Structure 1
């Protein structure tokens, strides 16, 4: 899967910002992630931005005063990243020293590109200092949006498998075609974080109750009313995407 991911992001690096950041669907997603970073990333913090791509969030956190190291599997994306420190690497096994970062971020469904998040979470914990922050958004296997996906585009029985196992293999319908993706339920992620020594302190929902499938929302729909539902944090386990904030024990 790593090769497929690298190839895909190599191919779209030159158009990523123009295509994705102009979509209302992604602007809403980015607004929510930005709110999390504004709260947790402080001046002077050392941050490892895993899956940095062309550097949107790396630059955002730099403007917040953090010292950011950008890491990505796509060499072409890294070349376009206007960041100071860059590292080529895989989110599944970070090529960094132990306990050197105040925060590890993985933003933009980075961990959904992995077939298993357990080793990746342990690698992130390895890179963190004690008390360091882990922040990642992960697309959910059990949510309203995936119900649409199972019923309309895939096998409805996958919903049962997702609820039972917490993991479902599928595809991501992106603006530039499909790419393999693995979806993880909230409780699966929470358990995997705990096993890696990361204590979950907050979970924020994004697209809690989408009225249409993501495949359609990625077009040009404006649904401001539904954005207000994302304030219902206790319902995060049922949202399309969950932003997880955890602390290294």
Structure 2
């Protein structure tokens, strides 16, 4: 059964570091899954340089795998979030981000996620946090201000978690910083403009690490996380708006 996505925009808490940023998300259900109040609600976060839609093939597969399970083991709904300077959020926050040269830390993303976890939207939900790489850190940090006896998650799934203890990090500081700088520089310097989304998908599919990815995820990166640009600013804004409202 096909996924049923709904697009959301959330205002983040004002932190004094610049203009308030928005966080974007998609809520996925399948069939009548949202009626299963005993089911699980997945909270999904992505890695650096990616976007919320990267999870769609995995979400679809998880819905398929649990369909025959008891109600309390089925998925009620899945929420996938964009970091405030990634994906649709980056488009919405474009002007604000230009005034924040320091960027957006994972702590700020985690704060926005924590607000969502405490919102009426999640009241009564059995939540499973699922984070990939830097997103794993966001999932964990989002829970840091909850009392140990009242954590927001029923379970946590961390994939390639970019986390170590402070003691281990400091004991290998030079190596850790080298790895972090490599990841950041690779993201900042990689090609980001193509003649079309089809050209982008073909280019990515031939190069590491994307050549190792599921082809569906590569295509989602090229199609869903890109936006049209133009020398004509007004035209650019019109195309971006069309891209967002198409959801």
- TM-score w.r.t. length of structure 2: 0.32
- TM-score w.r.t. length of structure 1: 0.31
Higher relative strand content:
1
